[in-house]
Structure 1
Amino acid sequence: MSDVSLAAPPRAQTLNSLGFAKPPAQTRVVAAMSGGVDSSVVAAMLAREGYDVVGVTLQLYDHGAAINKAGSCCAGQDIHDARRVADSMGFPHYVLDYESRFRNAVMEDFADTYLAGATPIPCVRCNQTVKFKDLKRVAEELGADCLATGHYVRRVESDHGAELHRAADANRDQTYFLFATTREQLDFLRFPLGDKPKSDVRALAAELGLRVAEKPDSQDICFVPQGKYQAVVEKLRPGAIEPGDIVHVDGRVMGRHDGVINFTVGQRRGLGVATGEPLFVVKLNAAAKRVIVGPREALGVSRIALKDVNWIGENAAVEDQLDGRPILVRVRSTRPPVPARLSVGAGWSVLLDAPEEGVAPGQAAVFYDPGTTRVLGGGWIAATER
């Protein structure tokens, strides 16, 4: 009888920290660098781990003018900060002039949305277009295995592919701004900060010797100085802001306004009218140049009609398999998700278990899986019903 050699079973391939079955040195990562502490830490951390890091900063506005406003990003001083991080860690850094793309995809939409009586979220549009579409294409052209960003979200691998989950630190979670991320984009993206609290990120920045360790977080919309969005809209659409009436829900004309752009649904202060009761902005009718106000009880809505829905939850052969599906929905970035059900029979909509106040067209409704941290997708709020 001949000897038989029994080969040892093949060893499972060891994945690196980004999920690839090869050494970090053989894994090229394009790091999106805004100049802030979060994206800087991602790039520096991966470089220290031995990854083949290429830093890319998108110049989005102001032709790189040296803006020193705290809370800004993607222009002037922020570009210099990103370059210094790359120089200190020894990896290449490129600045791409995306000003015209950013203006067309984000700023023009921002102005048009406000003038239509809705409340835009330019950060979502930026992620949806310039960053996760255009920058992803650049990363692929550079031969990258993935694109890494400083967002506080988690990417979880499952048997059915990559899933998007809320960050471990609920106070830093940014999934609301990434609901439009597609399955294809999610396969390519990496979010190394999703499991870390902000305090650890700043401590890591100090440990890595980064000068941005104590840099303030971005607060305002990057292209809106001091939060004066009306001035930006006036610049983009000269003469488009027109005055009109402030009207009570019962039909009474309460006063005049200088433009619906100065109001948002749910607003109480600065209405310019006084009655003996607290009044809130209930609805904006841009076509009629009317701001409709009423008591708090007039704010509650139970049904939210959506457009441009992006679904990244479980695969459904047909949309009506999702009809009636229980979800949690977040209707503003600062609010917790609340129980609701999907309705897709006659267009996508959300039926809230209990009325929500201040739900504004132009904002997003983001879907979460009840009982887990998974993001199922979301859509843009087109209309609301009481």
Structure 2
Amino acid sequence: MSGGVDSAVAAARAVEAGHDVVGVHLALSRMPGTLRTGARGCCTIEDSMDAQRVANKIGIPYYVWDFSERFKADVVDDFVAEYTAGRTPNPCMRCNERIKFAALLEKAVDLGFDAVATGHYANIVTDSEGNRELHRAATWAKDQSYVLGVLTSEQLKHSMFPLGATPSKAEVRAEAAERGFSVAKKRDSHDICFIPDGDTKGWLAERVGAEKGQVIERDGSVVGSHDGAHSFTVGQRRGLHLGMPAPDGKPRFVLEVRPISNQVVVGPKEALDISEIAGARFTWAGLAPEHPEVAFECEVQIRAHADPVAATAIVRPLDVPVPVEGQRPASDHELVITPHSPLNGVAPGQTAVVYIGTRVLGQCTIDRTVSAVPAVSDSTSAVA
């Protein structure tokens, strides 16, 4: 129970469905910013009190479980390491993968619980043979299956999403009001929960440091300088402060961040179009394809609110295994996804979630991308 309206209604529905429910709030941070009224995350002291009031109203036991140390190691430190390596991480994916459906689920099962229920908008469908599949929510606008794409078959066996068939958030808020929940009109959480003031650039500068470096074109020519490569992301246009205009007079965009050389690579907007993405850190949500080494048709989604794009996917052996510090051992295979139309502004570190229809088939953390408009001197991939 995060302290928000979605998990409040999910808990109430689970009780009405006949389940023996215990409310659990996760204490994920001990940083002072998360104690301040008005913090914009989802795990503040105020949130825990909101969750307790709802639990009391429903009439269920309520506990606060401290996962702050594991959250720091598995989510916060990972976030810093990924940016240091020039990648663009998704901390919400890591939190679902390593905290809510790993650390929390492991403890719950050890204590004798059957499942973890959350307020995510997604559905679980059981096929004729009893296998569980993760599917999109009933309403596209509220679908959150993307951030759950990291769940494995075993985790899906112990997951419940009571809001999956709900048509709208307005209906959830109306139900919360009818139940007398004080969180009925509470604003949704946003931004990164462990950066409560929303200043990601400043937060990273304190932990990674800021060192001046070069801004270069894809051919290696220097066109400017920067005060810290970690503050740039692929697709960024503003804040480049380039000393030389492009020959065609058009704006440049960040195409790549190179942490080893401390360089930021820029180029034309069309160079952001990506014709292929791949990642060795891939998992399947439910049963894996019977023959993943044979190319199959699917759709790929690269951001939580992006439209899916038709694509072809295949699992191939890696020429050279990709080592990723702090992650599981590098696989000797990678999931390669080729969109039928170019993706735009994709960065290593992002998550690509693969769908077949409404079903989430699996996901990968993107290790490399291939530009649809490579420069003459470009290698064909950007391996972080």
TM tier, smaller? 0.7 to 0.9
Bigger mean CA offset, 270-279 vs 164-173 = 270-279
Q: SS of 2:236's equivalent? A: coil
Determine if contact 1:331/1:363 at 8 Å carries over to the other structure: yes
The answer to whether 1:257 aligns with 2:226 is yes
Asked if the contact 2:273/2:343 (under 8 Å) is kept, the reply is yes
Task: Output one character per residue of 1:231-260: Cα deviation in whole Å (capped at 9) or x when no partner.
Answer: 3334444x3x32211112233211111111
Is 1:381 paired with 2:349? no
CA distance in 1, matches of 2:52, 2:202: 31
Equivalent in the alignment of 1:231: 202
Alignment of 1:58-97 (within 5 A): 58-62=26-30, 66-69=35-38, 71-97=40-66
* Offset of residue 86 of structure 1: 0.8
Partner of 2:116: 147
SS at match of 2:341: strand
Matched, 1:283 2:283: no
Q: Which residue of 1 aligns with 2:140?
A: 170
Partner SS for 1:52: coil
- Shift in CA distance, 234/280, structure 1 to aligned 2, threshold 3 Å: closer
User: What is residue 70 of structure 2 aligned with on the other side?
Assistant: 101
Q: Whole-Å Cα distance in 1 between the matches of residues 100 and 287 of structure 2?
A: 25
Q: Secondary structure at the match of 2:340?
A: strand
Q: Is the CA contact 1:329–1:338 (under 8 Å) kept in the aligned structure 2?
A: yes
Describe the shift of the 1:234–1:278 C-alpha distance in structure 2 as closer, same or farther (beyond 3 A).
Answer: closer
Note the C-alpha offset of 1:200: 0.8
> Which structure carries more relative contact order (alpha carbon 8 Å, separation 6+)?
2
2:87 aligns with 118
Equivalents in 2 of 1:123, 1:343: separation in Å? 26
Query: What percentage of residue pairs aligned between the two structures are identical?
Result: 45
Size of the alignment, in residue pairs?
348
TM-score normalised according to structure 2 size: 0.87
Deviation digits for residues 88-126 of structure 1 (CA, Å, limit 9, x no counterpart): 111100001111010000000000101111111001101
2:158 to 188, 197, 201: 188
- Partners of 2:306 and 2:289 lie apart in 1 by 28
> How many angstroms does 1:317 deviate by?
4.9
**What residue number does 2:284 align with?**
311
Quick check: 1:327–1:339 contact (8 Å CA) kept in 2? yes
- The answer as to 2:14 corresponding to 1:46 is yes
Deviations 1:153-208 (A, max 9, x none): 11111124111001111111111111110001101100011111111111111011
In structure 2, stretches of 5+ residues that fail to align are: 318-333, 372-384
From 340, 352, 367, give the equivalent of 1:353.
340
**122-131 vs 344-353, which deviates more?**
344-353
AA in 2 matched with 1:58: L
Instruction: Tell me which residue corresponds to 1:36.
Output: 4
1:303 counterpart SS class: strand
SS in 1 for 2:69: helix
Structure 2: distance between partners of 1:340 and 1:48 = 41
How far apart are the structure 2 equivalents of 1:133 and 1:315?
A: 20
DSSP-derived class of the 1:226 partner: coil
Give, in whole Å, the separation in 1 of the partners of 2:172 and 2:151.
24
Equivalent position amino acid for 2:362 in 1:
G
Counterpart CA distance in 1 for 2:305 and 2:283 is 21
Q: Distance in 1 between matches of 2:305 and 2:285?
A: 22
What secondary structure, in the 3-state scheme, does the structure 1 residue paired with 2:142 have? coil
2:312 to 316, 341, 346: 341
Moved more, 118-127 or 264-273: 264-273
Separation in 1 of the partners of 2:206 and 2:15?
41
2:268 is equivalent to residue 298 of structure 1 = no
Mapped contact 1:48–1:89 kept (Cα < 8 A): no
Gaps of 5+ in 1: 1-32
Distance 1:66 1:283, change over 3 A: closer
2:295 pairs with 1:324? yes
Closer/same/farther in 2, CA of residues 63 and 385 from structure 1, 3 Å limit:
closer
Larger Rg over CA atoms:
1
Q: Counterpart of 1:348 in structure 2: which amino acid? A: L
**Aligned mates of 2:205, 2:65 — CA distance in 1:** 28
